[in-house]
């Protein structure tokens, strides 16, 4: 594994050669594979590897509301619904600005996701959907200026991006990053074992891991050749999307955030990806997906659909909302 780690360190250094210390906290990039997962955050950033800022805010705490509450060891107040369910994710009045320009993009987002639910976020171009998902995973381009995010009873804003990933938050990006010099197989093996360590579960050696991986390849209908290729290098748009779902299948996640997983997919690939996502659902985990199209929702049936406009969720409904959108456009919904 040492050789693999060296490769990984090398590739990370290539991607992010000039990371400097920000005024408050620095996310150290080293050999940890979960940090490489987080590399998507930075590689998708326009200001790659300059100053890494986290969305942490020491002064933000989760606020309470109606219903009974559960207090975790971190003093975060968790709301229950009428049935006593505890949210997997609870976002309250979330506000965020672009670090460089201080422009406010998220202007008070509220969202509650329970275990086993599928939520779809739709909205016009530029309404803030991707920003919302990137803020959830701690993208360094954005700074949270208000509100709260509680994930599994913990204050997400107190966690570094890597910690969020290890805690069970997975994000599939619109444009997944290439990682030269690191094979898909090595990447997945290390990321998988990092999560196992975090969960206090036994790690798998490369042979055990290979068996695990091959079963997941079938789920996403990918050939074994992809395991020896470097992560996303030379992959077509559709192959990258499948590879993202392979990562999700291998690593597992309590909350999978899928940003336009349907874009650039042909019909067969869309069905494969949707089948894989559906196959991963259990009563314990949830999906938050961003999409522009009703067609994805035909394959992955959402519990709720949210419409985002100008940095806020302005409407929530069932699948009839997406049908209305498809038929009449956003004018039927916008305020
Ligand atoms: N890092 C950034 N630098 C400059 N502007 C940004 C940045 N991130 C987001 N924005 C701006 O914030 C607004 C919301 O962008 P975002 O990508 O969240 O929208 P979206 O709803 O996902 O759009 P689309 O449907 O086109 O993907 C846009 O006007 C975008 O240009």
The answer to whether the CB of 297 falls within 8 A of the CB of 319 is: yes
Q: Give the residue whose CA is nearest to atom 1 of ligand 1.
A: 141
Q: Give the rounded distance of the alpha carbon of 77 from its chain centre.
A: 23
For residues 126 and 305, what is the distance between their CA atoms, to the nearest angstrom?
18
Going by pLDDT thresholds of 50, 70 and 90, the confidence category of residue 181 is confident
Residue 201 in this model has a pLDDT that exceeds 60 = yes
Q: Which residues line ligand 1 (CB under 6 A)?
A: 46, 98, 105, 123, 125-131, 141
- Find the 133 Cα to ligand 1 centroid distance in Å: 11
Per-residue CA distances from 66 to 63, 77, 79, 138 (Å): 10, 11, 7, 28
19-24, Cβ contacts within 8 angstroms, sequence gap of 24 or more? 19/49, 19/50, 19/52, 20/50, 20/51, 21/51, 22/51, 22/52, 22/53, 24/53, 24/54, 24/56
Predicted local confidence at residue 76, as pLDDT: 63
56 or 280, higher pLDDT:
280
Atom number in ligand 1 closest to CA 128:
18
pLDDT digits (tens, 9 = 90+) for 99-135: 999 999 999 999 999 999 999 999 999 999 999 999 9
Which of the listed ranges 46-60, 78-92, 111-125, 266-280 does the model predict with the highest average pLDDT? 111-125
Q: Give the residue whose CA is nearest to atom 28 of ligand 1.
A: 126
Q: Give the residue whose CA is nearest to atom 18 of ligand 1.
A: 128
pLDDT digits (tens, 9 = 90+) for 67-108: 333 334 445 666 677 777 779 999 999 999 999 999 999 999
- Find the 126 Cα to ligand 1 centroid distance in Å: 5
Going by pLDDT thresholds of 50, 70 and 90, the confidence category of residue 241 is confident
For residues 141 and 134, what is the distance between their CA atoms, to the nearest angstrom?
9
What would the mean pLDDT of 157-174 be, rounded to a whole number? 88
Per-residue CA distances from 297 to 58, 171, 270 (Å): 38, 18, 11
Predicted local confidence at residue 77, as pLDDT: 63
For residues 146 and 111, what is the distance between their CA atoms, to the nearest angstrom?
15
Predicted local confidence at residue 53, as pLDDT: 29
ipTM rounded to 2 decimals: 0.98
Q: Is 215 exposed, middle or buried (0-12, 13-18, 19+ CB in 10 A)?
A: exposed
What would the mean pLDDT of 218-229 be, rounded to a whole number? 86
Residue 39 in this model has a pLDDT that exceeds 60 = no
Per-residue CA distances from 288 to 50, 112, 153, 209 (Å): 29, 11, 18, 28
Smallest CA-to-CA distance from 137 within 199, 206, 91, 178 is with: 91
Residue 25 in this model has a pLDDT that exceeds 50 = no
Predicted local confidence at residue 99, as pLDDT: 97
37 or 51, higher pLDDT:
37
- What torsion do the CA atoms of 299, 305, 306, 308 make, to the nearest 10 degrees? 40
- Give phi and psi for 25, each to the nearest 5: -110, 145
Q: Give the residue whose CA is nearest to atom 31 of ligand 1.
A: 126
Neighbours of 30 (CB within 10 A): 11
Q: Kindly report the CA angle at 107 between 304 and 258, in degrees rounded to 5?
A: 40
- Average pLDDT over the chain reads 77
Q: Is 75 exposed, middle or buried (0-12, 13-18, 19+ CB in 10 A)?
A: exposed
Sign of CA dihedral 52, 89, 300, 271: positive
The answer to whether the CB of 130 falls within 8 A of the CB of 288 is: no
Residue 312 in this model has a pLDDT that exceeds 80 = yes
For residues 163 and 326, what is the distance between their CA atoms, to the nearest angstrom?
38
Residue 180 in this model has a pLDDT that exceeds 70 = yes
7 or 263, higher pLDDT:
263
The residue extents of the domains of the chain are 2-332
For residues 124 and 330, what is the distance between their CA atoms, to the nearest angstrom?
7
Smallest CA-to-CA distance from 121 within 292, 235, 268, 275 is with: 292
Taking domain 2-332, whether its CATH number is 3.40.50.880 is answered by no
Going by pLDDT thresholds of 50, 70 and 90, the confidence category of residue 221 is confident
Q: Give the residue whose CA is nearest to atom 3 of ligand 1.
A: 98
Predicted local confidence at residue 202, as pLDDT: 93
Q: Tell me which of 51, 98, 102, 105 to substitute to probe ligand 1's pocket, judged by most ligand atoms within 8 Å of the beta carbon.
A: 105
Secondary structure tally for the chain: helices H, strands E: 11, 14
Predicted local confidence at residue 103, as pLDDT: 98
Q: Which residue has the tokens 């490489």?
A: 36
For residues 27 and 161, what is the distance between their CA atoms, to the nearest angstrom?
8
The answer to whether the CB of 220 falls within 8 A of the CB of 273 is: yes
What would the mean pLDDT of 235-254 be, rounded to a whole number? 87
Per-residue CA distances from 299 to 130, 185, 275, 319 (Å): 21, 29, 8, 12
- Find the 125 Cα to ligand 1 centroid distance in Å: 8
Predicted local confidence at residue 66, as pLDDT: 29
Atom number in ligand 1 closest to CA 308:
21
């Amino acid at each position: 594994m040492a050789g693999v780690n060296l490769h990984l360190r090398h590739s990370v250094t290539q991607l992010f050669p000039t990371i400097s210390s920000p005024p408050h906290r620095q996310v150290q990039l080293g050999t940890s594979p979960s940090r490489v997962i987080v590399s998507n955050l930075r590689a998708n950033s326009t200001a790659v590897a300059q100053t890494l800022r986290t969305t942490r805010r020491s002064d933000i705490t989760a606020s309470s509301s109606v219903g009974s509450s559960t207090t975790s060891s971190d003093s975060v107040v968790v709301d229950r619904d009428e049935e006593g369910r505890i949210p997997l994710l609870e976002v309250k009045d979330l506000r965020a600005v672009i670090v460089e320009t201080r422009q406010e993009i998220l202007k008070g987002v509220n969202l509650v996701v329970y275990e086993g639910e599928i939520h779809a976020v739709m909205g016009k171009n530029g309404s803030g959907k991707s920003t919302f998902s990137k803020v959830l995973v701690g993208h360094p381009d954005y700074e949270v200026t208000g509100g709260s995010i509680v994930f599994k009873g913990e204050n997400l804003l107190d966690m570094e991006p890597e910690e969020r990933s290890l805690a069970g938050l997975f994000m599939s990006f619109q444009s997944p990053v290439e990682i030269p010099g690191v094979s898909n197989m090595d990447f997945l093996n290390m990321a998988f074992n990092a999560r196992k360590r975090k969960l206090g579960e036994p790690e798998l050696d490369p042979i055990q891991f290979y068996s695990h991986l091959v079963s997941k390849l079938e789920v996403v209908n990918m050939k074994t050749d992809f395991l020896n290729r470097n992560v996303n290098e030379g992959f077509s748009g559709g192959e990258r999307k499948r590879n993202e779902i392979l990562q999700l299948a291998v690593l597992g996640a309590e909350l999978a955030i899928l940003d336009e997983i349907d874009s650039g997919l042909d019909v067969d690939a869309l069905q494969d990806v949707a089948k894989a996502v559906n196959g991963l659902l259990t009563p314990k985990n949830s999906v938050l997906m961003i999409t522009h199209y009703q067609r994805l929702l035909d394959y992955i049936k959402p519990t709720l659909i949210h419409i985002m406009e100008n940095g806020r969720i302005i409407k929530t409904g069932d699948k009839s909302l997406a049908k209305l959108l498809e038929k009449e456009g956003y004018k039927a919904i916008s305020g």
